[in-house]
Chains A and B, each alone.
Chain A
């Protein structure tokens, strides 16, 4: 295969390809790669009032986060909040969007209008979404309170974002609303690849709706299902910041202090950059673990193939 001529051609192509890729790679390196390396060096330093003291303290920031009695509880609490947020919102997004996708897959009159409507939450910027829900949840004049009051379900107006037991749920509901359409489109695209004949055969065998769903649709949809789970988990860990910022600012108390908010607060409210950077590295690690677990747990096929190879 590797005759000298082919080899030379391969090397020439490589040189040419990298000349084309260079600007893109440079952008990504300058604005993502280098800062990432730099954040490790920040995490090893001591900062006071946003200025490095010059002391290199190596892993003290990391140890503080895990053991220091003033920081560690905050960190563990933020982990619990983050996981709770991610698990609930991802499950809700998956269930609701799958339902909507199944509905749209029926291709009735008006299903196209539904598709257009679904584009709206997707297109609305995150902070605007937060502002919309902030107004809906408003404890004094919000429409949610008004509606529940009118229906006689509540006796008095109440606060959602100011109640430690409800605040996270308020954020989750607003988050789910925005991210359902994205998954619904993915599920719909997945459903459209399942041939109609499969369903016709199931109907011949007089399989019920539920049986058809669990025995045919879901297994055939598994690759898409898995992908949606991974994407939604990434999104849940990345994209809730605007909602927390506008709706609760991590409160009341620390009820909605997710890891992302804690990092922001440590770094830019208390200007403890070293500690913030160390927390950010933890967040990146959590991200990697999450995705790895999903890919292994949800892909028995790939696992068994690998098992056979070994």
Chain B
């Protein structure tokens, strides 16, 4: 009897240790790359060009000059001419590019909510001819690689004089994200009892009034999840953006940072700081609204 109890508690203890070690390993795996780019972004250029790197930099090699350059365009004064030359033009494009990305992503989110909400509602609530096939067809567009329609897109936008415009990207990203938004919202509506809407209709509310007064308040978490998803997808997109934009009127942060990292002469600290600045908007957004993000990730499938 005691032997039995011992083996159970021994197993429990082993499990606890295993869980602890596992958590530490996973946390290190996930956090180390991010930590390293943050640490690098605060180090002076000369310190970044030393072997081995400074894992725990002391105050004498820390600097804010990389961020200073991104936000003000001032090169660090205490650096050598050689290093000052590494603060390339494209570094000053990071901030405008992020603003471009955010503007595009916000419009995409707006289109998604305004059009996707009634569409998801219609798929969930109405029995109509072609409901299922049309829905599946919409979802199937998700399987299409961006690269496989990039050529016709490039040629078509050229013909319509829409290359290098934010409008074109908003249109494309909306089309990419709408099927997903509709999917998330449809799934969400199906979990809300239809009786609320019927009651509103009974009280004389029209379609739009019911949508505004009853459906939207009830589906708020689903709408937020869908909106975050649309925003992040638009902010993240690279393939279309890199082919369809040429100047800073429409270049997004994905394009600018990829170009910056490829320039052989760019400051390493500047690249690291740019990476940090670029990842902040979606990371902050998903941390603030993490409940909805996780919900949106899993709701579509389960």
- Residues 120-165 (chain B) with a chain A CB within 8 angstroms: 121-123, 126-131, 134, 138, 141-156
Residue of B with least CB distance to A228: B301
Closest chain B CB from A174 CB (angstroms):
8
Q: B52 in the interface, Cβ–Cβ < 8 Å? A: yes
Residue of B with least CB distance to A41: B152
Q: A169 in the interface, Cβ–Cβ < 8 Å? A: no
Residue of B with least CB distance to A285: B148
Residue of A with least CB distance to B302: A189
Which residues of the other chain, A, contact B302 by a CB distance below 8 angstroms? 186, 189-190, 193, 224
Chain-A contact segment, one of B72-80, B170-178, B187-195: B170-178
Which residues of the other chain, A, contact B30 by a CB distance below 8 angstroms? 117-118, 120-121, 177, 181
Which residues of the other chain, A, contact B49 by a CB distance below 8 angstroms? 140-141
Establish whether residues A245 and B238, one from each chain, have CB atoms under 8 Å apart when the complex forms. yes
Q: What is the CA–CA distance of A216 and B78 in the complex, to the nearest angstrom?
A: 64
Q: A5 in the interface, Cβ–Cβ < 8 Å? A: no
With known contacts A36-B149, A117-B27, A10–B33 Cβ distance under 8 A = no
Establish whether residues B111 and A27, one from each chain, have CB atoms under 8 Å apart when the complex forms. yes
Which residues of the other chain, A, contact B286 by a CB distance below 8 angstroms? 119, 122-123
Which residues of the other chain, B, contact A143 by a CB distance below 8 angstroms? 36, 40, 53, 55
Which residues of the other chain, B, contact A277 by a CB distance below 8 angstroms? 151-152
With known contacts A117-B31, A185-B297, A127–B127 Cβ distance under 8 A = no
Closest chain B CB from A42 CB (angstroms):
6
Chain-A contact segment, one of B60-68, B84-92, B215-223, B250-258: B250-258
Query: Of A27, A130, A237, A281, which is within 8 A of B171 by CB?
Result: A27
Establish whether residues B50 and A141, one from each chain, have CB atoms under 8 Å apart when the complex forms. yes
Bitwise, B203-233 to A at CB < 8 A (1) or not (0) is 0000000000000000000000000000010
Establish whether residues B238 and A116, one from each chain, have CB atoms under 8 Å apart when the complex forms. no
Q: B110 in the interface, Cβ–Cβ < 8 Å? A: no
Q: What is the CA–CA distance of A190 and B119 in the complex, to the nearest angstrom?
A: 28
Q: B272 in the interface, Cβ–Cβ < 8 Å? A: yes
Query: Of A27, A116, A146, which is within 8 A of B174 by CB?
Result: A27
With known contacts A42-B155, A186-B297, A234–B143 Cβ distance under 8 A = yes
Which residues of the other chain, A, contact B115 by a CB distance below 8 angstroms? 23-24, 27
- Residues 252-288 (chain B) with a chain A CB within 8 angstroms: 253-255, 257-258, 260-262, 268, 271-272, 274-275, 278-279, 282-283, 285-287
With known contacts A132-B37, A132-B275, A24–B119 Cβ distance under 8 A = yes
Is the interface on chain B under 10, 10 to 19, 20 to 34, or 35 or more residues?
35 or more
Establish whether residues B53 and A128, one from each chain, have CB atoms under 8 Å apart when the complex forms. no
Establish whether residues B126 and A31, one from each chain, have CB atoms under 8 Å apart when the complex forms. no
Q: A182 in the interface, Cβ–Cβ < 8 Å? A: yes
Closest chain A CB from B45 CB (angstroms):
11
Chain-B contact segment, one of A67-75, A87-95, A102-110, A296-304: A102-110
Residue of B with least CB distance to A266: B151
Q: B104 in the interface, Cβ–Cβ < 8 Å? A: no
Q: B48 in the interface, Cβ–Cβ < 8 Å? A: yes
Which residues of the other chain, A, contact B123 by a CB distance below 8 angstroms? 21
Establish whether residues A186 and B119, one from each chain, have CB atoms under 8 Å apart when the complex forms. no
Q: What is the CA–CA distance of A103 and B26 in the complex, to the nearest angstrom?
A: 9
Q: B118 in the interface, Cβ–Cβ < 8 Å? A: yes
Which residues of the other chain, B, contact A125 by a CB distance below 8 angstroms? 235-236, 238, 253-254, 278-279, 282
Which residues of the other chain, B, contact A147 by a CB distance below 8 angstroms? 52
Q: B99 in the interface, Cβ–Cβ < 8 Å? A: no
Q: A106-B19, A127-B254, A177-B30 are in contact. List 4 more A-B contacts (CB 8 A).
A: A99-B22, A115-B290, A131-B261, A280-B148
Q: What are the 6 tightest A-B residue pairs by CB atom distance, in nearest-first order?
A: A31-B175, A280-B148, A146-B52, A38-B152, A35-B152, A14-B128
Pairs A–B under 8 Å by Cβ, sample size 19: A10-B127, A27-B115, A30-B175, A35-B149, A103-B19, A115-B294, A119-B283, A122-B293, A123-B287, A125-B235, A125-B254, A131-B261, A131-B271, A131-B275, A132-B33, A132-B275, A241-B147, A283-B145, A284-B143
